Homo-oligomer: A and B are copies of this chain.
Amino acid sequence: MPPVFQSVTPEIITRLTAIFGAENISTTQADIDLHARDQSFHHAAPAEVVVWPDSAEQVAVALKLANEARIPVTAWGVGTGLEGNSIPIFGGVLMSFERMTRIVEVHADDFQVTVQPGIGHKDLNAQLARYGLFFPPDPGANATIGGMLANNAAGIRTVKYGASKDNVLRMQVALADGRLITVGSRSVKQAAGYDLLHLFVGSEGTLGIITEATLKLVPVPALMSAALATFDSVQAAVETVVAVRGSGLDPAALEFIDAAHCKMLSTSDGVDLEERPTLFMEFHAAQPEALKAGLTMVKQICEEMGALSFRSTTDNAERKQLWTARHHSLEIMKRLHPDKKFFVNDVAVPISAYPELIGFVEDLRTADGVKTYMIGHAGDGNIHVEFPFSDEAEYQKVMATNGKIVMKAIELGGTATGEHGVGIGKMKYMPAEHGPALDVMRTIKQSLDPNGILNPGKVLPETLESTQA
């Protein structure tokens, strides 16, 4: 039976005000609107009340209240989600972590930091610079740590440093019934019972709400180099990805941009690209000799794999210039299409299936008559197909093509979402991706959140059948 939720009553507002203080609760239209949609194109939905917790204890007490009253609670970082992950589609309480942004402790010798969930990862890294350490996952936007962990965000450097799930050691989590638990350990090794840490990471606030996290950090690389290579086919580019990884070079980024995208980007000032499948690479090293030897090896591999051009640099300014097109691809693309919106797809496959997936998308350009650009974290087999569109009719057409790409990725042994999360947009593909394992997810959801109050209408498709009383 899908849950039936109750409305937020004046009495509930009074009790929430007692928990959070009058300064930290709002029912104004402006605040409701500010938390009604993320950066996706999913429909906005209004919460009934917005609260700004100041502590884990407040989160826990409010969850207990909401659970007993059958009121939905949706956690909110900073609204940079791309799949509607934080849209409060059944109303209820929107819990914003905007005021829990503290660095609790820097454990510099342990290469760890303990933070509150509302801190942005860029803000965190700015403060960590003095220790020569950084938190590597980088989804682009200044997403909060809580949001990144809840969605298992990743980004460009995952090929070397892993996704959010690989860079967290310990979390404090508030459960639906108001219990506060600690999962994981500050010990980097732990073989002591069930891995609850990774159960909550990526659960998108549907099993519990992250109230504190201890993150793994890595030393800021002493030296960085960049390389750019072009190929006459996607196949050759992907074979080069495999060869570079197989060489033991351990690239810090290994990005792909397709010919159509290169052509479009190259019409912008300061971008020097050819209309060919192109690989962008970055390498980190502790010594200049290692950096140079690495570049020599990369060049040799690219040439052996038939690269049509190869450029590289160890100079910081030149490196940034070489990567301009990749780093600014989204904004350049938007600037060049002032009348369009962009839907960004996110699927991932085993790298050996990458050429087939790319070929499939290229064929759909003709078959479905849609315009697409492709950019991807090739080192991880992750591709983002970018679809420009103008209106609802075009958006629906784009969604239909997107659905074909998602199903193809799953068919190729991949996933409906590499790093954007399920949210609203990917729910319908979960049965195809997980088969009977989806029932185990349902069992776990039921056992930890029996009243279904945590971020309903996300991850598990049947939660969309919930209703407001």
Q: Which residues of A contact B (CB under 8 A)?
A: 107, 109-112, 132, 151-154, 158, 163, 165-166, 175, 179-183, 185-199, 201-203, 207, 219, 221-222, 242, 245-250, 284-290, 292-294, 296-297, 348-352, 377, 380-382, 409, 413-422, 426, 429-430, 433-441, 443-448, 459-460
Contacts and interface: CB of A to CB of B under 8 A. Distances in A.
A194 B188 contact: no
A250 to B, nearest CB: 8
Nearest to A181: B437
Contacts of A201: 195
Contacts of A293: 286-290
A421 B468 CA distance: 45
A447 B443 contact: yes
Q: Please give the count of copies of this chain that the complex contains.
A: 2
A434 to B, nearest CB: 6
Contacts of A180: 436
Given A189-B382, A443-B448, 17 more contacts: A111-B245, A152-B191, A152-B195, A163-B191, A179-B439, A181-B436, A185-B414, A187-B348, A188-B350, A193-B430, A195-B198, A195-B199, A196-B440, A199-B444, A250-B286, A287-B297, A440-B448
Nearest to A207: B194
A448 B419 CA distance: 28
6 contacts: A154-B191, A187-B380, A190-B418, A193-B433, A285-B290, A444-B447
Nearest to A243: B109
Nearest to A382: B189
Given A182-B435, A185-B414, A435-B182, A193 B294 contact: no
Nearest to A109: B352
B292 A289 contact: yes
A249 B194 contact: no
Contacts of A436: 179-181
Contacts of A189: 154, 158, 163, 348, 377, 380-382, 415, 418-419
A414 B201 CA distance: 21
A193 B438 contact: yes
Contacts of A438: 193
A422 B185 CA distance: 15
Contact of A195 (B165, B179, B348, B418): B165
A421 B415 CA distance: 31
Contacts of A182: 434-435, 437
| Most chain B beta carbons < 10 A, residue from A154, A430, A437 | A437
Contacts of A446: 447
A187 B413 contact: yes
A351 B418 contact: no
Contacts of A185: 413-415, 433
A191 B417 contact: yes
B154 A459 contact: no
A350 B186 contact: yes
B286 A289 contact: no
Given A198-B198, A219-B247, A446-B447, A191 B352 contact: no
Contacts of A349: 186-187
A194 B290 contact: no
| Most chain B beta carbons < 10 A, residue from A110, A153, A445 | A110
